[in-house]
Amino acid sequence: MSGQKNDKYSYGWSDPGGVYGRMAIQQNLPNYNICFHKDGKEIGKLDFNSGTLRFEGNADESAVRFIEYLSAQWSTRLHREQAEAMRLLAELVTFELADEVELDDAYRKGFNDAMQACRTMFLKKAEEKERAY
């Protein structure tokens, strides 16, 4: 194999009785490349398959694609976390003034209505975030 890259694992054996002859099992090695594409064409590649990391292609354009990919991944995660936080806040905003508390009924109704409005707003925003992603 001098100078050539082996892209398969291979194991072989011979049948001493001669019934099956020589048998071999092969499995392709995993591909650890990260490829960058633009308009359906590969513009760059990080090659992790050998002992040395190599890059081939247009570094500037590949870097732009890589950052765009990371941005999209983090944006999606951020929106999911915001939706979860809004649902949690909606659960936490459960306090309502009971009839036993000696307050004016109009104040109690206004406070309770405000709590319900907060829950509704948080749940609506959470649903919007979840639909967007």
Per-residue pLDDT tens over the stretch 55-90: 999 999 999 998 988 888 888 888 888 888 888 888
Closest CA to 56 of 68, 67, 66, 43: 43
Domain count of the fold of the chain: 1
User: In this structure, is residue 81 part of a structural domain?
Assistant: yes
Q: What is the pTM of this model?
A: 0.43
Residue 90 lies in a domain: yes
104 within a domain of the structure (yes/no)? yes
The pLDDT value recorded for residue 70 is 87
**What is the residue range of 125's domain?**
8-132
Residue 64 inside a domain? The answer is yes
Q: Is residue 34 part of a domain?
A: yes
Residue 76: inside a domain, yes or no? yes
Does 53 reside within a domain? yes
